[in-house]
Chains A and B, each alone.
Chain A
Amino acid sequence: MDIYVLVKQVPDPEANVKVKSDVELEIENKYFTNFFDEIAIEAGLKLREKFGGKVTVLTVDNKKVDALRRGIAMGADDAIQITDPALEGSDPFAIAKTLAAYLKDKPFDLILAGRQAMDDDAGIVGPGVAELLGIPHVNMIVGLEIDDPKKELKVVREVEGGKEILSCFLPALFTCQKGLNNPRIPQVMNVMKAMKAQMKKVDLAALGLSAVDVGGQAVKIKVQKYLPPPKRPPVKMIKEDFPENVKQLVKLLKEEAKVI
């Protein structure tokens, strides 16, 4: 199977993120490979173990290639970085367009992505790429069963109140989330190998795209203003002894917070 995994290096959830100005953020320099993308890589590697073939990790980024290194360290065969100054200012749709332009003439059987990137949290790129390539997608999968890549496969997505089982043929795109698998921890040897690996670089011209297709000129939606999160009032500790504290809590929920 020829499998492509879309990966992104994102600020670690523990990184500090603050509003610097109306249109600018200050982000602590603490990045990791998007958690859901590691799940996607793992899913790709498992399928390769079963059916043979190749797993390629692919990112659009002008600076950070550590997600590609992570992919290689985990066991991916190939890593591609799409990079071009004209990509600056891109929205998720432009990123999807760029990825689809790269993938459209590749012999892929399956494309895997994360449920969402843990920074913008948009969840747009996966379904967007599938739409542009005209292949089916299923979002937020927690199960994937392929017996034969030529035949109908089964995929499970979580819905409110249960799990839905769908079937479709390849090629397809799935976005992965927790519950699908537990990503492997790469061996030290492989991490070292990945540090030295050469990434293939691709620019927009090679994809037949130009500056008007992506970047700031193509945006459909933009940030007008960043805001800090609403402040919570300081916690009220209920200091009475048990069971008075429980009575007091119920009273506060009823009379002060008015939520029960």
Chain B
Amino acid sequence: MSNEIWVFAEQQEGKVRRVAFELLSAAADFSKKTGSTVAGILLGSGLQEALKSLTSYADKIYLLDDPGLAAYTSDAYLIHMAPLIKEHQPSILLGGATSTGKDLFPRLAMHLQTGYAPDCTGLTIEENGKLIAKRPLYGGKVFAEMIYLEAKPQMATVRNNTFLVNQNLNKSAQVIPISSPIDPSSLKKKVIGLEKAAGAKLDITEAEIVVAAGRGIKAPENFKIMEELADVLNASVGTTRATVDEGWRDVKDQIGKSGKNISAKLYMAFGVSGAIHHILGIGTCKTVVAVDTDPNALIFNYADYGIVGDLFQIVPALTEELKKAMAEK
């Protein structure tokens, strides 16, 4: 086994996801304790920019730049990654708990017959290189510290915003191009298209700030005031199941047990009653603000700051106040 920590440098359309930089920063910290080499593994097609963005974050980059990898499929990625992992035997392999990470890692772990901790909200390492992965269970009602038995690599996917990006690592990675031509016709799946969501906002799982409205917003067109608030904060707009079931919002923006878990730095909820199903999706947010007309709304039990008030009054005023505050910065 080598003493390497690998980070899956997931990219979409040539841009490496922020969570990969977060994990490379965490890995750099771990390596101080274990003396490990930190390596990124980058797959795709036309990766010049992606590679450039990564080199100061890793000691090594395994580069698989191949037209056959233009779009992610688990088949194509697995065929490329598995032999490389078997050859180099990293002690740890980390990735973001993104839609791609959650699609690829469990299958890869099964293929490699190794341990995998999904959707982690914390990682620590011991001097002997043993990883301890912390993950929420039962939607965050309890947490578990998981440890790995013998098999390597120790695999984990980690939620966005779990670690901070350290822009001062100043590494200069050695790039190791890997050529593994595969016959694309051997693959069983192919991507035939991508429908981009309207608007340029980040997915709610990736955004550092998420503002949400629930049924209290009363009508789909009223989400306009939420979009305006979000724009000031560079935030994304989330919601509850109630509005999704009404057909007001897309399910991709639903926060909670049957939607998404978010780990935002700041989460602000307006007209959200705070049902446990919703709360389970925000357990790892750092600061929570709640605004509701009902002083007994459950959401206040989970908030850091609360205002009893009418969102139609508060949201526009808050947008204006934040504009001023941001301008002062």
Query: Which residues of A are at the interface with B, using a C-beta cutoff of 8 A?
Result: 11, 13-19, 25, 27, 35-36, 93, 96, 118-124, 126-128, 130-132, 135-140, 142, 154, 157-169, 172, 177-179, 219-229, 232-233, 235-238, 242-243, 245-247, 249-250, 252-254, 257, 259-260
Q: For residue B302, which residue of chain A has the nearest CB?
A: A232
Q: How far is the CA of A158 from the CA of B196 in the complex (A)?
A: 10
- Residues of B with C-beta under 8 A to A243: 317, 321
- Residues of A with C-beta under 8 A to B287: 253, 257, 259
**Residue among A14, A93, A232 making CB contact with B276, cutoff 8 Å:** A14
**Contact call A159/B137, Cβ cutoff below 8 A:** no
Q: How far is the CA of A18 from the CA of B137 in the complex (A)?
A: 11
Extra contacts, 9 of them, besides A14-B277, A220-B149, A246-B321 (Cβ < 8 A), are A96-B110, A124-B109, A165-B192, A167-B192, A178-B259, A221-B146, A224-B146, A246-B318, A259-B286
Q: How far is the CA of A13 from the CA of B257 in the complex (A)?
A: 8
Query: Which residues of B are at the interface with A, using a C-beta cutoff of 8 A?
Result: 12, 17, 71, 73-75, 98-100, 102-103, 106-107, 109-111, 113-119, 132, 134-149, 151, 188-197, 202-203, 205-206, 209, 233, 244, 251-252, 254, 257-259, 265-266, 276-277, 280, 283, 286-290, 300-309, 313-314, 317-318, 321-322, 325-326
Contacts between chains A and B (CB distance < 8 A), count: 259
Assuming the A-B contacts A220-B151, A236-B304, A238-B306, are A166 and B191 also in contact, with contact meaning beta carbons closer than 8 angstroms in the complex?
Answer: yes
Assuming the A-B contacts A246-B317, A247-B321, are A221 and B147 also in contact, with contact meaning beta carbons closer than 8 angstroms in the complex?
Answer: yes
**Contact call A139/B103, Cβ cutoff below 8 A:** yes
**Contact call A226/B136, Cβ cutoff below 8 A:** no
**Contact call A136/B251, Cβ cutoff below 8 A:** no
Per CB-CB distance, the 3 closest pairs between chain A and chain B, nearest first, are A221-B115, A220-B115, A160-B203
- Residues of B with C-beta under 8 A to A19: 142
Assuming the A-B contacts A121-B137, A161-B197, are A18 and B142 also in contact, with contact meaning beta carbons closer than 8 angstroms in the complex?
Answer: yes
